[in-house]
Structure 1
Amino acid sequence: MAKKTKKNQPQGFGKYIKWFWILFGAGMFAVLLLFLLASWGAFGTMPTFEHLENPNTNLATEIISSDGETLGKFYLDDNRTPVPFSELPENLVNALVATEDARYFEHSGIDARGTIRAVAFLGSKGGASTISQQLSKLLFTKKPSGGFGRIVQKIKEWVIATRLERQYTKEEIVQMYLNQYDFGYAADGIRSAARIYFGKEPNELKTEESAVLVGMLKNSSLYNPIRREELVLNRRNTVLGQMAKYGYITEMEKDSLQALEMDLNFSPESHREGLATYFRMYLQRYLNKWIDENPKPDGEKYNIYLDGLKVYTTVDSRMQKNAEDAVQEHMKRLQAEFFHQNTPDRNPTAPFLELESFEIDNIMERAMKVSARWKAMKRQGVSENEIRASFRKKTEMTVFDWNSDSFEKDTIMTPMDSIRYYKTFLRTAMMSMEPQTGHVKAWVGGIDYKHFQYDNVIQGARQAGSTFKPFVYAAAIDQLRYSPCDSLPDNQYCIEPLKHGNPEAWCPKNSDGKYSGENLTLKKALANSINTITAQLIDKVGPSSVASIAKNMGLTREIPEVPSIALGTPDFNVYEMVGAYGTFANQGVYVKPVMVTRIEDKNGTVLYEYMPETKDVLSKDVAYAMVNLMEGVTRYGSGGRLRHSFAKNQSVYKEIITGYPYELTNPIAGKTGTTQNQSDGWFMGMVPNLVTGVWVGGEDRAAHFSRLAYGQGASMALPIWALYMKKNYANEELGVSQGEFEEPEDLSINVDCTKVLEEIQKELDTEDDLELDF
């Protein structure tokens, strides 16, 4: 047999080629096997993207204003409201692609060129993670410990990315990614991020704003615009540079945009911050009650934090902002004066007046036992002695402060001192309603929800003072057919013992303790809040008639049927009072205040639609006569400062009347109210299509101004109403009426008191001061 020649023997180089292909094939097979094993679940369960297929799951409930703005949301962990691709601005998508995945529209989930580059240069020239891979990464709730775990997760990301690309369009993947990403500060998804960082909807984002949010996608914790502004600014400019590199903007545009400052409008969407906080917390209670009474078809309860409900409300975001601004503007100045009058030198028992030390101790004791700290420590089983000791131990805390830009300051004090500190602050409540529909347009339950969570609109109830008198006058006009021009003598008047169920004789005095002895028209008597006239009227019609009318007008709290109710001794809240006064403005028809018009589920199915609740209480003639009477209050009486200037001897407290002179000239009906010792100040004001009530007072009745000049309703509450209305009138789109109240056809009650009013005006011109209200 012949020997093999060298030609027939494998060459050395060929051997290496052979092994190369063997190893290459084995490597490819191994990679393919790894992918197959990962997809089969050999390395653990693959996270699903079921919630991406149905992006409307586990969503926050959205609260929508009557003008289409989002007032806030209810959520637990995810403050997420997805938006479709059509609502994403082009500049945002361009910034995302240019920065994160330049060949996004060319690959099928994995960028081979990018992967090879990342491996070759060990990531020094950029990574290879595509947008699809980044979306798949968001599906992993737990981070791998490292090493092999990270390799396995990366393989899983690749598998999911390719599946995403097969199942969704490129646009849908971008949409889902931006809706899924957590931008920090409860900004879950692009819509929340746009609202929280820039105060606008995504489709309103400018190019430089989109660049900020895209820059955060790298690491929202690191690139935090609130804590690391310079770092985020540099990152934004990098994004803009990438947009120029790939031709989405010109070099000139890039240079111009990079020169801009980062104009943030940080608007947190926490439950304690933002617009209409008190209203939102009322709405939370309302919805919890609603879901108890209205289960899903399968019997389960709706979840207001996860089911993505849409709640359409009557509140107008613009009027709500005007209301909150008016409250803040006036209360800050009023509080400064209250602090000035209640320094320890002027008032050793500050903020309380006319109390003995044991009475103050009782107030503080009650406050301590109802505090959150006391209740929490009780639940933990801490002994009462230890709890009391903790209230006297100094600790770091953040408290409310009008003088800080954020209305907060860090301090060190004992919890007991903090209780006393908070009792020095005056509280307020304000509600505004359209009387024809009952739609509540604005709701302010206090000065700052974060630190004062008691809602004085609906939770609180205080003596109504003279704001109750119109119900007495309404009963007299309705039953006795009195007119605003009829008159009664201003003399001391007593109601006999046992009459109307009164155990003793009742002889009310006027606020100044004087009696003019003159016959006063009902219009002048109400304008100047003459108590003797009101006493005569309730004596004639009886307390039961007054209580009946008041209840029919929506005052649901107990009203004792005794003569003293004429001066407003019963307690009511602002919510009830506004609804009741709406009856006067709505031609005698009571419409129950409404805050929610419609509730929809996440698919847009209507779950609830409001049906008005109305009641005919007064005739049109009586209602109009009452409006006419209360117009006199703002022209000739205690509400006259809405139109007139201060007299000389009022200048002492002119500084606290924010925005004065108001110089409102349109028809306004209203009534001021002040309770005993100036503990409560009220103003109820009406124009034809808006009724607004304001209350101001301390948490405790013993915390009040010592002088009527400061503590009356015309000084404490009326300025908020005036500021609010001036802001409303400055925006004609709101449509707040400046016209006359509608007069009924064939009016049977005489309201033309021209001659009498001329005499009143002549008297007013000779007086040094406006009459004070009580």
Structure 2
Amino acid sequence: MLKKISKNPILKWSLLVIAAGVALFFLLFGSIYFGVWGKIPSSKELTELTQNKATQVLASNGKLIGKFYIFDRQPIDFEQFPPHLIEALIATEDTRFYEHDGIDNRSLLRVFVKSILLQDDSAGGGSTISLQLAKNIYGRKDFGPLGIVVNKLQEAIIAKRLEDIYSKNEILELYFNTVPFSDNTYGIESASLKFFNKKTSALSLTEAAVLVGMLKASHYYNPRIFPERSRLRRDVVLMQMAKYGYLEMEEAEAAKLEPLILDYKSFSHDKGIAPYFREQIRKDVSSILDTLKNSDGDTYNIYRDGLIVHTTLNYEMQKLAEEAVLEHMSQLQKEHENSYGKYGPWDTNKKILNDAIKRTPRYQKLLKKGLGEKEIMLSMEEKRPTEVFTYNGMETRNISTIDSISHYLKFLNSGLLAVAPEDGSVQAWVGGVDFRFFKYDHVAQSKRQVGSTFKPFVYTAALENGMDPCAYFSVREVTYDNDWTPSNSSSEGDDPHMNYNLKTALSRSMNTIAVKVLMETGINNVVSQARRMGIESELPPYPSLALGTASLGLTEMAGAYTSYVNNGFYTKPYYITRIEDGEGNLLASFEPQVSKAKAFSEDTRKIMLNMMEATVNEGTAVRLRYKYGLRNDIAGKTGTTQNNKDGWFVGITPNLVCVTWVGSDDHRIGFRNTSIGQGANSALPIFAKLLQKMNADASFADVTNARFAPLPSSLAEMMECPPKERDNFLERLFSGKKEKDDRSKNDRRDKKKKGFFKRLFGKKDDN
């Protein structure tokens, strides 16, 4: 035989080539096996596989509202895979999966011959599920011309070790939890939730086929971008299932007739439900995790450790709140811009525009490069196609950077916070109109002057310090220190000789009377009362405090107002209930923060609630009744700050406190006039629209059908006094001198105390 070979040069050289090829293969394989091309994980390392896992943020009902991840991966157990999903995968990707030991030798030989001997880069294909799993876990590196062979052999070694360690079902579990899908999504559960808004276990046959079909080329067969391609690929998967006996041909043909319908849910941090809330969760949880250690003594990582964060957020209410904000703000924005016409301060006020320009990252970057002011401005005046936000959708305009800055300066913004008063649990949180373009969170970060929404604190302090609810005060203007003379925005101040009781003065938000009540009560007493209700921010100790010159946040306001429907105890808003690891083990838990002492008496609470109900039924918030047709039990308070810079509304129902704010991010830009900027027009409608939507949804019946307890007869009798009375001649004669002597007490008319003039003229006591 050897003589025949030696005499036949063709056969001799053929055998030498084959021998050299085999030797080369084993040499290459040996170098790969022993780590010359990079370390291959050992069997021990493979038994301790860990993958970056997304942290999930859940609403109070367990519904997913967002995730934090490096790769969007959400592992699940094998038992959660429906049979048709597994069958679709095997029929399409690896028909001999249950027969081989991780390596398809025929496929591997084909790759070797075509790639090395024939230099055919398109030799791939035929990879087993185990080989794909190895690639999914460890990725591929660039080894030059031999790259595909080296990577394939590395994956073959890893695949063989995986098969020795794990059962077939465990390999399928690992595969489905690591395989990449379209839109930067890793793992079947994340893909199922993203494309069909359902858990993997609920996937239909055709939905499973769409996801499995996507694995061939995740971008090319992305059903969101290329629905027709995806549908055709789905049909290939269905026919493969029929070919290998997983479906009857009739079943496959029937399934092919079904339309491809997505229910796409993006979990991009900038998009989706509650983005401002999720960003606050990210900040808080990251800080909390810095104080916790895992079993290895390391701190947890919000992006890698697959934690579960449970929150108090009401998923459905949050959706309705976001809808309410956008519906109202889109209309209000039109009114705002139309009121200014071509002379909006975002265009005409050069200081406001220049300040905004200098705050931009681009300006700062050019400044650091050493460019002068003129050069920077010329650069920022260059026009280019730019996508900008509008309430009608994104628009592409040919504008400069300066034009873009001016565009965003004109937008009003908003904040909404709704809490359950008994424990302070946050039900809805809207920090602005669109997180993609307005990152500043007006719930967590903003403090603005609160206007007349501070007045209830003044009246609460007055009642607590012995003032009678039927005390009368003149609407007359008075000048205080620093020549400050508060006035009323309505016609109530036209008759300076008219006196109003506390309920009427509060419900109609009379500025002159609010300041007089504060001065008679004592500024320090009012500040102390606000502190007992949970207000922690600085409160300026001046008469103007009564009109809300203090800058407070929405969380402070919401917490303080809960005391009116929580038996006098204020509750600090909270939103994280517990944090668990991926196995459900508790890492941290959080309880409601309710004040230990009552902020005021029960009688004061009931009287104040009655006064704020009057605000809704007959006062500044009456449009809740006549315009929005709300018949719920509602108390509340409107607020408008100086020069119409801020609009506020606090809505109170027995089981919900909701604070809304509207204004410009640049506080120098206010509303053009009070009719647009007053809280009743700018902020109140958001609450009104939210409550309308909740009224239409029976699941909110515990909130919408709740009723305030009626005012006890003893308190009702105490408040039985005319809303207003006019001074008689002698009272007016003497009240002028009295006002000069003691401005803070000039017009009080205590209905329970018989005054000299009433006795003189025989006027009966109204009580």
TM-score, scaled to structure 2: 0.84
Residue aligning to 2:458: 472
Residue aligning to 1:618: 600
- CA deviations 1:111-152 (Å, max 9, x no partner) are 457778999999999942211111112244334456543223
SS of match in other structure, 1:525:
helix
Q: Which residue of the other structure, out of 508, 515, 539, is the alignment partner of 1:559?
A: 539
- CA deviations 1:602-638 (Å, max 9, x no partner) are 4444332213333221223222222221111111122
1:684 Cα shift? 0.6
What is the identity, as a one-letter code, of the residue corresponding to 1:488?
Y
Q: Is the 8 A contact 2:337 2:344 kept in 1?
A: no
What is the identity, as a one-letter code, of the residue corresponding to 1:277?
P
Structure 1 pair 128–293 and aligned structure 2 pair: CA distance change class (3 A) = closer
Question: Within 2, Cα distance between the matches of 1:70 and 1:268?
Answer: 11
SS of match in other structure, 1:411:
strand
1:437 Cα shift? 0.9
What is the identity, as a one-letter code, of the residue corresponding to 2:603?
D
Q: Which residue of the other structure, out of 359, 362, 369, is the alignment partner of 1:370?
A: 359
Q: Which residue of the other structure, out of 481, 504, 509, is the alignment partner of 2:488?
A: 509
What is the identity, as a one-letter code, of the residue corresponding to 1:626?
M
Q: Is the 8 A contact 2:336 2:672 kept in 1?
A: no
Question: Within 1, Cα distance between the matches of 2:44 and 2:708?
Answer: 59
Is residue 460 of structure 1 aligned with residue 454 of structure 2? no
SS of match in other structure, 2:180:
coil
SS of match in other structure, 1:607:
strand
Question: Within 2, Cα distance between the matches of 1:378 and 1:182?
Answer: 42
SS of match in other structure, 1:692:
strand
What is the identity, as a one-letter code, of the residue corresponding to 1:216?
M
What is the identity, as a one-letter code, of the residue corresponding to 2:356?
A
- CA deviations 1:310-339 (Å, max 9, x no partner) are 222211222111111111111112212223
Q: Which residue of the other structure, out of 561, 564, 568, is the alignment partner of 1:584?
A: 564
Residue aligning to 1:74: 68
SS of match in other structure, 1:262:
coil
Q: Which deviates more from structure 2 when the two are superposed, residues 517-526 or residues 440-449?
A: 517-526
Question: Within 1, Cα distance between the matches of 2:63 and 2:438?
Answer: 25
Residue aligning to 1:105: 98
Residue aligning to 2:264: 266
Is residue 316 of structure 1 aligned with residue 314 of structure 2? yes
1:217 Cα shift? 0.8
Q: Which deviates more from structure 2 when the two are superposed, residues 381-390 or residues 95-104?
A: 381-390
Question: Within 1, Cα distance between the matches of 2:355 and 2:299?
Answer: 38
1:434 Cα shift? 0.8
- CA deviations 1:648-684 (Å, max 9, x no partner) are xxxxxxxxxxxxxx32212111111122232221111
Question: Within 2, Cα distance between the matches of 1:369 and 1:734?
Answer: 47
Aligned residue runs from structure 1 range 217-236, under 5 A = 217-236=215-234
Structure 1 pair 235–150 and aligned structure 2 pair: CA distance change class (3 A) = same
Structure 1 pair 703–149 and aligned structure 2 pair: CA distance change class (3 A) = closer
Is residue 165 of structure 1 aligned with residue 163 of structure 2? yes
Q: Which deviates more from structure 2 when the two are superposed, residues 439-448 or residues 728-737?
A: 728-737
Q: Is the 8 A contact 2:472 2:724 kept in 1?
A: no
Residue aligning to 1:237: 235
1:491 Cα shift? 2.9
Q: Which residue of the other structure, out of 383, 392, 400, is the alignment partner of 1:394?
A: 383
Structure 1 pair 447–124 and aligned structure 2 pair: CA distance change class (3 A) = closer
1:208 Cα shift? 1.9
Is residue 494 of structure 1 aligned with residue 474 of structure 2? no
Aligned residue runs from structure 1 range 415-430, under 5 A = 415-430=401-416
Residue aligning to 2:173: 175
1:755 Cα shift? 8.3
Question: Within 2, Cα distance between the matches of 1:725 and 1:480?
Answer: 36
Residue aligning to 2:515: 535
What is the identity, as a one-letter code, of the residue corresponding to 1:601?
D
Question: Within 1, Cα distance between the matches of 2:360 and 2:189?
Answer: 37
Q: Is the 8 A contact 1:335 1:425 kept in 2?
A: yes
What is the identity, as a one-letter code, of the residue corresponding to 2:679?
G
Question: Within 1, Cα distance between the matches of 2:147 and 2:529?
Answer: 75
Residue aligning to 1:132: 130
SS of match in other structure, 2:535:
coil
Question: Within 2, Cα distance between the matches of 1:63 and 1:292?
Answer: 18
Question: Within 1, Cα distance between the matches of 2:126 and 2:427?
Answer: 52
1:21 Cα shift? 12
Question: Within 2, Cα distance between the matches of 1:752 and 1:205?
Answer: 65
Q: Which deviates more from structure 2 when the two are superposed, residues 724-733 or residues 416-425?
A: 724-733
What is the identity, as a one-letter code, of the residue corresponding to 1:361?
K
Residue aligning to 1:339: 337
Is residue 599 of structure 1 aligned with residue 579 of structure 2? yes
Question: Within 1, Cα distance between the matches of 2:305 and 2:2?
Answer: 71
Question: Within 1, Cα distance between the matches of 2:317 and 2:112?
Answer: 58
Structure 1 pair 197–420 and aligned structure 2 pair: CA distance change class (3 A) = same
Q: Is the 8 A contact 1:493 1:536 kept in 2?
A: no
1:751 Cα shift? 7.1
1:400 Cα shift? 0.8
Q: Which residue of the other structure, out of 676, 688, 700, is the alignment partner of 2:642?
A: 676
Aligned residue runs from structure 1 range 437-452, under 5 A = 437-452=423-438
- CA deviations 1:564-615 (Å, max 9, x no partner) are 1111122222121111111212111011111212122344443322133332
Q: Is the 8 A contact 2:213 2:221 kept in 1?
A: yes
Question: Within 2, Cα distance between the matches of 1:385 and 1:229?
Answer: 50
Structure 1 pair 52–373 and aligned structure 2 pair: CA distance change class (3 A) = farther
Extract unaligned runs of 5+ from structure 1: 1-8, 646-661, 760-774
TM-score, scaled to structure 1: 0.83
Residue aligning to 1:90: 83
Q: Which deviates more from structure 2 when the two are superposed, residues 121-130 or residues 327-336?
A: 121-130
Cα root mean square deviation, aligned: 3.6
Q: Is the 8 A contact 1:487 1:519 kept in 2?
A: no
Q: Which deviates more from structure 2 when the two are superposed, residues 151-160 or residues 173-182?
A: 151-160
1:401 Cα shift? 1.2
Is residue 633 of structure 1 aligned with residue 599 of structure 2? no
Q: Is the 8 A contact 1:182 1:188 kept in 2?
A: yes
Question: Within 1, Cα distance between the matches of 2:500 and 2:516?
Answer: 12
Extract unaligned runs of 5+ from structure 2: 115-119, 726-767
What is the identity, as a one-letter code, of the residue corresponding to 2:664?
G
Pairs aligned (count) = 713
Question: Within 1, Cα distance between the matches of 2:43 and 2:401?
Answer: 49
Q: Which residue of the other structure, out of 272, 277, 280, is the alignment partner of 2:278?
A: 280
Question: Within 1, Cα distance between the matches of 2:294 and 2:370?
Answer: 39
Q: Which deviates more from structure 2 when the two are superposed, residues 700-709 or residues 174-183?
A: 700-709
- CA deviations 1:397-420 (Å, max 9, x no partner) are 22111112xxx2222222122111
1:168 Cα shift? 1.0
Residue aligning to 1:545: 525
Structure 1 pair 740–179 and aligned structure 2 pair: CA distance change class (3 A) = closer
- CA deviations 1:83-126 (Å, max 9, x no partner) are 12222233322221121112222332234577789999999999
- CA deviations 1:368-410 (Å, max 9, x no partner) are 2222222344455555554333222223322111112xxx222
Q: Is the 8 A contact 2:644 2:674 kept in 1?
A: yes
Structure 1 pair 91–521 and aligned structure 2 pair: CA distance change class (3 A) = farther
What is the identity percentage for the equivalent residue pairs of Structure 1 and Structure 2? 38
- CA deviations 1:68-91 (Å, max 9, x no partner) are 12221222x322221122222333
1:448 Cα shift? 0.4
Question: Within 2, Cα distance between the matches of 1:489 and 1:224?
Answer: 70
What is the identity, as a one-letter code, of the residue corresponding to 1:613?
Q
Aligned residue runs from structure 1 range 642-721, under 5 A = 642-645=624-627, 662-721=628-687
- CA deviations 1:159-191 (Å, max 9, x no partner) are 222221121121221121121122232312222
What is the identity, as a one-letter code, of the residue corresponding to 1:308?
G
SS of match in other structure, 2:210:
helix
Q: Is the 8 A contact 2:538 2:550 kept in 1?
A: yes
Question: Within 1, Cα distance between the matches of 2:402 and 2:222?
Answer: 37
Q: Is the 8 A contact 1:621 1:748 kept in 2?
A: no
